[in-house]
């Protein structure tokens, strides 16, 4: 690689998919290469996530969500640290960002500040080397398949795609936060997305015929209008069938419960049905759903601090489906190791802004792989047109990708990038499909 060093760093305020301010970092190298990184933001956030730096004064501008403090940290504190640094090694760049804050959760400079810069540096380095981002990010552990005698083939992730939004993504109209589908029986990304488009369209037609209140939630899924949580599951199965597909054979259901959002004063509150449940009741309810519906993945079935509940749930259902930790694991290698020692969860959601740098996100994925956990690279409810997570999933060989629904530009730009890469890579890549999900690999 050329001796490309950071010659300029600037930050600007842009707007995310919910119309809230977010930060874009622009990194320019001495060879003229330029990388842009944009920080996403979540609505449903774990207590142990790295901290977003927001201005917080609701009386001044943008409801307290402005980022003038983050912009100042980037310009005044981080730019002097980074100017002149080489960018070919992401870990070195990210360590400068980590060292700038004495809090691992980045409460001083903000994980939104650091992740935008981390991504911008990676993109600039990839451009400088003349490489696609996924190839620049690829781990040195991705070696030639000596047994087959072939060069390594890139893995294309299996999509998880929201059909109905709920919870914090849709004004808590239903308790379940995401009702998604995944298509492990598809032969390619293109086929999986085509099937998803049919299901998404069928779900919309069903809602229209029922004269339901209409629209889309934060991540592009249909705005829910159901009297019970099970009604949403019934409608999702009906949508798959209306699309001419077979539930539990071609198309499966993935749920994000986001149970931390339900938890209050020691019990779980299901607002839609005016029910108050204990952890054992939640486990029984979800176990019944698994029996009745073709569910292959459940994310955050218990609250982020409910270790015992997670262990019990994983012991009961972990052999049948993915038990995914989001708020529970917060893309944190230490949390993943602790969970594995307890026997809690068997898959991790990887959200780069939960940690604040690409390197820390990658360390979480390395820990997950060592412990036999599946991985899902995930977007957030407040997104931008940044396509980096598609490249992360491919470059790091993560088996699944979750970017929201099948509408809205900030979502479709990512699905279309995945399609584009599938086409460009051709025989140099394969679709993860069934192999992305442990329950199917054993069948």
Residues forming the active site: 219, 351
Q: Please report how the helices 111-129 and 358-370 are oriented relative to each other, as an axis angle in degrees rounded to 10.
A: 90
Beta bridge partners of 299: 256, 324
Q: Which residues lie below 8 Å from residue 266, measured CB to CB, with a gap of 6+?
A: none
Spatial distance between the Cα atoms of 318 and 336, rounded to a whole number of angstroms: 16
Spatial distance between the Cα atoms of 371 and 109, rounded to a whole number of angstroms: 32
Determine phi and psi for 356, rounding to 5 degrees.
110, -10
Contacts made by residues 276-280, CB under 8 angstroms, sequence distance 24+: 279/306, 279/308, 279/309, 279/312, 280/312
Determine phi and psi for 65, rounding to 5 degrees.
-95, 5
Query: Are the C-beta atoms of residues 270 and 278 closer than 8 Å to each other?
Result: no
Structure tokens that stand for 119 in this block: 């991504």
Phi-psi group of 155: left, alpha or beta (phi > 0 → left; psi -120 to 50 → alpha; rest → beta): beta
Q: Which residues lie below 8 Å from residue 312, measured CB to CB, with a gap of 6+?
A: 279, 280, 283
Spatial distance between the Cα atoms of 413 and 17, rounded to a whole number of angstroms: 12
Spatial distance between the Cα atoms of 126 and 401, rounded to a whole number of angstroms: 22
Q: How far is CA 300 from CA 50, 195, 235, 307, 366, in A?
A: 18, 26, 22, 11, 21
Q: Please report how the helices 111-129 and 90-99 are oriented relative to each other, as an axis angle in degrees rounded to 10.
A: 160
Question: Within 13 Å, how many C-alpha atoms sit on residue 164's CB side?
Answer: 36
Handedness of CA 258, 260, 262, 268 (dihedral sign): positive
Beta bridge partners of 263: 268
């Amino acid at each position: 690689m050329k001796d490309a060093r950071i010659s300029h760093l600037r930050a600007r305020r842009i707007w995310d998919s919910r119309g809230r301010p977010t930060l874009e970092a622009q990194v320019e190298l001495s060879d003229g290469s330029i990388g842009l990184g944009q920080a996403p933001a979540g609505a449903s956030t774990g207590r142990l996530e790295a901290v977003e730096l927001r201005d917080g004064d609701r009386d001044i501008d943008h409801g307290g969500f402005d980022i003038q403090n983050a912009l100042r940290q980037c310009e005044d504190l981080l730019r002097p640290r980074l100017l002149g640094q080489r960018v070919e090694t992401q870990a070195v760049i990210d360590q400068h960002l980590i060292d700038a804050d004495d809090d691992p959760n980045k409460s001083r400079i903000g994980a939104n500040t650091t992740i935008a810069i981390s991504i911008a540096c990676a993109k600039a380095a990839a451009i400088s080397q003349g490489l696609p981002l996924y190839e620049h990010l690829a781990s040195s552990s991705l070696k030639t398949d000596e047994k087959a005698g072939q060069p390594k083939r890139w893995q294309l992730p299996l999509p998880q795609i929201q059909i109905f939004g709920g919870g914090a993504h849709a004004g808590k109209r239903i308790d379940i936060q995401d009702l998604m589908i995944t298509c492990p029986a598809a032969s390619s990304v293109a086929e999986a997305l085509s099937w998803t488009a049919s299901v998404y369209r069928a779900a919309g037609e069903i809602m229209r015929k029922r004269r339901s209140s209409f629209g889309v939630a934060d991540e592009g899924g249909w705005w829910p209008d159901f009297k019970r949580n099970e009604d949403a599951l019934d409608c999702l199965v009906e949508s798959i069938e209306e699309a001419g597909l077979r539930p539990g054979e071609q198309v499966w259901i993935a749920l994000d419960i986001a149970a931390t959002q339900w938890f209050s004063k020691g019990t779980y509150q299901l607002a839609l049905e005016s029910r108050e449940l204990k952890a054992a009741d939640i486990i029984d309810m979800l176990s019944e759903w698994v029996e009745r519906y073709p569910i292959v993945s459940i994310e955050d079935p218990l609250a982020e601090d409910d270790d015992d509940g997670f262990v019990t749930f994983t012991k009961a259902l972990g052999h049948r489906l993915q038990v995914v930790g989001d708020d529970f694991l917060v893309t944190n290698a230490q949390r993943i190791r602790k969970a594995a020692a307890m026997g809690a969860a068997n898959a991790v959601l990887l959200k780069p802004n939960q940690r604040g740098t690409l390197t820390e996100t990658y360390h979480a994925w390395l820990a997950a792989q060592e412990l036999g956990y599946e991985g899902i690279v995930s977007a957030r409810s407040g997104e931008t047109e940044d396509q980096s997570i598609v490249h992360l999933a491919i470059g790091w060989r993560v088996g699944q990708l979750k970017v929201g629904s099948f509408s809205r530009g900030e979502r479709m730009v990512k699905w279309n990038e995945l399609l584009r890469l599938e086409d460009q890579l051709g025989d140099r890549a394969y679709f993860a499909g069934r192999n992305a999900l442990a329950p199917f690999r054993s069948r």
